[in-house]
Amino acid sequence: MPTLKVLDMAGKEVGDISLSDDVFGIEPNAAVLHAAVRAYLMNQRQGTHSTLTRAEVRGGGRKPWRQKGTGRARHGSIRSPQWTHGGVAHGPKPRCYRVTLNKKVRRLALRSALSAKVAGGEMIVVDAIQTNEYKTKTMVSMLRSIGAEEKKTLVVLPERDEKVIASLRNIEGVKVALPTTLNTYDILNCDRFVVAEAAARKIEEVYAP
């Protein structure tokens, strides 16, 4: 059972927390993590790319010169792919890149990512993340105190708190999530995984097998 120190917003140790082996202590499954990250990134693609074929490019309806007798290569249209301003051969067309994973695979990938963060010493538990005013300076001070000044930090709150979210939003590289909105890619992509103690308990409830 993994045990981590619990810090306050000033960076002082205020206790310990024992985490569930089923969520934070499993052996990360590399194949499932790869599948989950690939699916996430592919699902971010809009698939709106498009090029014009020779039939769609304006012009080129007349044969540029006669077939024989000029000494030049034969051509039927100035919009063929080999011509400047011609159509594109085998270019991209709008398509859907969506990849789906079944629920068990998604949950296993997320537990693997959580366990990898704990094993790598990149997870930081804070007793409570809160502020009484919209103040980015307060959140910057907290991240500095707990040792989460990395370029990429994922902060997980137990519930939506507009003041905390707004205060963290202006900090470059910081992303905020809730236990129910976590995804494998964001967890693996961050350098520091900062979780409120109450959020850690909710994660255990939501993602327990």
Question: Residue 104 belongs to a domain with what CATH number?
Answer: 3.40.1370.10
Half-sphere exposure of 143 (CA within 13 A, CB side): 27
Q: Are residues 116 and 195 in the same domain?
A: yes
71-127 pLDDT, tens digit per residue, is 999 999 999 999 999 999 999 999 999 999 999 999 999 999 999 999 999 999 999
> Of 61, 96, 131, at which residue does a domain stop?
96
Q: Are residues 185 and 120 in the same domain?
A: yes
Q: Are residues 123 and 21 in the same domain?
A: yes
Integer CA distances (angstroms), 99 to 18, 32, 38, 53, 181, in order = 35, 14, 8, 28, 19
Average of per-residue pLDDT across 131-158: 92
Q: Are residues 60 and 132 in the same domain?
A: no
The domain total for the chain is: 2
* Mean pLDDT across the chain: 94
> Of 96, 122, 156, at which residue does a domain stop?
96
Q: Are residues 115 and 58 in the same domain?
A: no
Q: Are residues 165 and 184 in the same domain?
A: yes
Q: Are residues 84 and 171 in the same domain?
A: no
Q: Are residues 9 and 70 in the same domain?
A: no
Query: Whole-model pTM?
Result: 0.84
Beta strands in the chain (DSSP E): 3-7, 13-18, 123-126, 153-156, 174-177, 192-196
Q: Are residues 40 and 52 in the same domain?
A: no
Nearest to 126 by CA among 201, 191, 194, 193: 194
- What per-residue confidence (pLDDT) applies to 6? 94
Would the pLDDT of 11 be above 80? yes
Would the pLDDT of 174 be above 90? yes
Q: Are residues 128 and 201 in the same domain?
A: yes
Q: Are residues 193 and 113 in the same domain?
A: yes
- What per-residue confidence (pLDDT) applies to 157? 96
> Of 96, 128, 158, at which residue does a domain stop?
96
Q: Are residues 32 and 7 in the same domain?
A: yes
* Structural domain of 67: 47-96
Name the token pair of 147. Answer: 């040792």
